[in-house]
Amino acid sequence: MKTITAAEAKNSFGKFLDMAQREPVLVTKNNRPVGVFLSMDDLEDTIWAERALKAHAEGYLAEEESRALLGKLLKAGD
C-alpha cells in the first residue's frame, strides 16, 4: 500500500487519484494514519467479499451444494 501525506494529497490531487486506481493509498497527517483512499473497483470488491463471508458464516450453500440439495428435495417430493 502506498502512503501519502494529507498535504501531498491536497497539492497533487490528480496524482493521488491515479495512485488509488492502482492500489489503496494510506493518508497520513502528522505521521499518523488518518484514512485510506480506495478506487471504486477496490471498494466494490471489498463489499462483495464481505457479503460472501457473511453468507458463508450464515450457512449459505455454494452453487453445487444448492443444486444437489434441490435435486434431492425434488426427488423426495415425487
6, 29 contact by CB (below 8 A): yes
pLDDT at 70: 86
pLDDT at 36: 96
pLDDT at 54: 87
Query: Looking at residue 3, what DSSP letter applies?
Result: E
pLDDT at 66: 83
**Domain 1-38 in CATH: superfamily?**
YefM-like domain (3.40.1620.10)
Cβ-count burial 21-54 (b if 16+ within 10 Å, e if not): eeeebebbeeeeeeeebebeebeeeeeeeeeeee
pLDDT at 11: 97
**Residue spans of the chain under pLDDT 50:** none
pLDDT at 78: 65
Residue type at 29 in one-letter notation: K
pLDDT at 62: 80
pLDDT at 18: 95
Residue ranges covered by each domain of the chain:
1-38, 40-78
